[in-house]
A and B are shown apart, each in its own frame.
Chain A
């Protein structure tokens, strides 16, 4: 009877998971076709004179009469730079063709792959939740708690988290707002929201940087790799098998990976964001490429100010989307995915059984420390025996 009902329950879960995935795939396909459909007519590339349009009707561009210098204008169209006597050296380039490649990337693969990644991570988490369910405290609530995070750790975390969510929403509006929001609320409202969002994005960025610095300072010492991380990773963190709890200190290998992704990604976002905030004043990518080339790469190190801006916007978008995907997973496991996890950042306290199951090495040390402190306090409070 129990076996049959368990089998039926698993079958129902698998069917629900399949239905969820099918729905996500359909939504993704519809969403992406909508993005493509809106981008199609926006290309501004014109064929050179005499060339036929690839993939289109066999139309030949008319030849120019007279002494029209085809070669010169071809070079100009390809980004030829001349010399100017004004301070704005970029004015020496009449047509900056890299802009077309940047624009195609900005309106094509970047939002498309980003949308795929975000929908995919939500789908994988939904599937995981349906198959594995919520990870519960196996030994039940102990009723006693220990301090997991101090107040300064939680302030740093929430400063980083809230600022990241504001930056993510305002940034996603820049990338997807014209497809997702504009048709819903109209041009006037979308314009007002986007202008406000742009300023908010610029200003909140500094709170994000402060939060990033604060969390780096308070958590760096707990996030250096150790051999136990290999064991933890080899056992999948005990996430897939009930009763499996690989030992971990304050942060397990998954949390350490998250920490370094947030720190390095956040630093990269901050630097590229500052380059965008103060345009044409930095050579961030030329200098970075020069360093990367020491490893044997052959990236361009002579970049015009406009190219610097193009690399900055593309890189800022790529890293932001990657971090959003990572943070969606983090939010899931810290709230819905694991019983007893949220209180670590809520009140700062966690149940002793939760701590013993998920961070056993850290919990043992903390419990020993608490008991030693309690013993010392009891001893100090007890009156000294009479001589």
Chain B
């Protein structure tokens, strides 16, 4: 039971840390291929 609870704590911590880090990173096609305002298409 203790191991199970500890695993849930680890799950919550890793998930929260991932959420914080991933929100700083480009994660969609529009982020990767956004057209720059100084580029004339």
| Chain A residues close to B by CB (< 8 Å) | 86-88, 151, 154-159, 162-163, 199-200, 202-207, 210-211, 277-281, 346-348
Contacts and interface: CB of A to CB of B under 8 A. Distances in A.
User: Considering the complex of A and B, which 6 residue pairs feature the smallest CB-CB distances, nearest first?
Assistant: A158-B7, A154-B3, A206-B18, A207-B14, A159-B7, A203-B18
**B-side binding surface: helix, strand, loop or mixed?**
helix
Contact of B33 (A151, A163, A206, A280): A280
Nearest to B32: A280
Contacts of A154: 3-4, 7
Nearest to A89: B33
**A-side binding surface: helix, strand, loop or mixed?**
helix
Interface of B: 1-4, 6-8, 10-11, 14-19, 22, 25-29, 32-33, 35, 39, 41
Given A154-B4, A202-B18, 7 more contacts: A155-B3, A159-B11, A200-B15, A204-B18, A277-B22, A280-B29, A280-B32
Contacts, number: 72
Contacts of B28: 279
Contact of B32 (A159, A203, A281): A281
Contacts of A159: 7, 10-11
B10 A203 contact: no
A86 B10 contact: no
B4 A207 contact: no
Contacts of B7: 154-159, 162, 211
B8 A347 contact: no
Contact of A203 (B6, B8, B22): B22
A278 B10 contact: no
Given A154-B4, A155-B10, A202-B22, A207 B33 contact: no
A206 B14 contact: yes
